[in-house]
Amino acid sequence: MPKPLTEWKVLPHGELRTVEENILTVTGDIPMPLAKLKRRMSVVRLRDRRLVIFSAIALCREDMRFLEAFGTPAFLIVPNAHHRLDAKIWKDRYPAIRVITPPGAREKVQKVVPVDATDVDFDDPGVTFVTVGGTDEQEAALEVRRADGTTLILNDVVGNLRDTSGFGGWFLRLMKFAGDKPHIPLPVKISLADKPAFAAQLRRWAGLPSLKRILVSHGRIIDDDPGGTLRALAASLK
């Protein structure tokens, strides 16, 4: 992975777009030795207009203005120890933002940016921070429940890259970050501390009321039978 940034550097990214009334998302590129890896930032607006930034990406001036008009950046979720690239520069830009990471990632994340907590109450009953079961507390997720349905925001535990080609694309498919359907990436599967617990976590998410979509950090939004997708992924761990 590239070294964490120490100054605001805007890497190639797409448009900041609205997923639903209180959720924004944007995808960008990370230059890697073997492939150009697509990544996603998700932004959730709480009921008091504070923002939860999940897996931060530095954006261009216009998009940052749009984001700031959307709400006030208040929480920065570093969802695992590999997603630290933009953490420091976001904290520098918004000194009051609270940095949250799962317990197992805290030691490595703190080498880049001070961590405020490994759990958080957003004071919004519709938004919940989750330390993902079975991952040795290395991965975080968000559950966002709104009137029109539930959005699940995941990090590396599910990959759904589709438009890959060349040697880099072959490598991403080999690692199960890419393919013709969502996968549990091979590095995640190998590093799972407790596969039954992770499978149970996937099945619990599959049963979330009115599950409408899943946002993953690497790949397309999963909005075609997201519950069935999670159940299939749980079954693949047997």
**138: region left, alpha or beta (phi > 0 left; psi from -120 to 50 alpha):** alpha
**pTM for the model:** 0.95
CA–CA distance, 83 with 215 (Å, rounded to integer): 15
Query: Domains (ranges, CATH) in the chain?
Result: 17-235 (3.60.15.10)
Please name the helix (run of DSSP H) or strand (run of DSSP E) that holds residue 30, with its range, or none. Answer: strand 23-31
Q: What is the pLDDT along the chain (238 residues), one digit of tens a residue?
A: 689 999 999 999 999 999 999 999 999 998 776 667 899 999 999 999 999 999 999 999 999 999 999 999 999 999 999 999 999 999 999 999 999 999 999 999 999 999 999 999 999 999 999 999 999 999 999 999 999 899 999 999 999 987 776 767 767 777 778 678 999 999 999 999 999 999 999 999 999 989 999 999 999 999 999 999 999 999 999 7
How wide is the angle at C-alpha 10 spanned by C-alphas 117 and 52, nearest 5°? Answer: 30
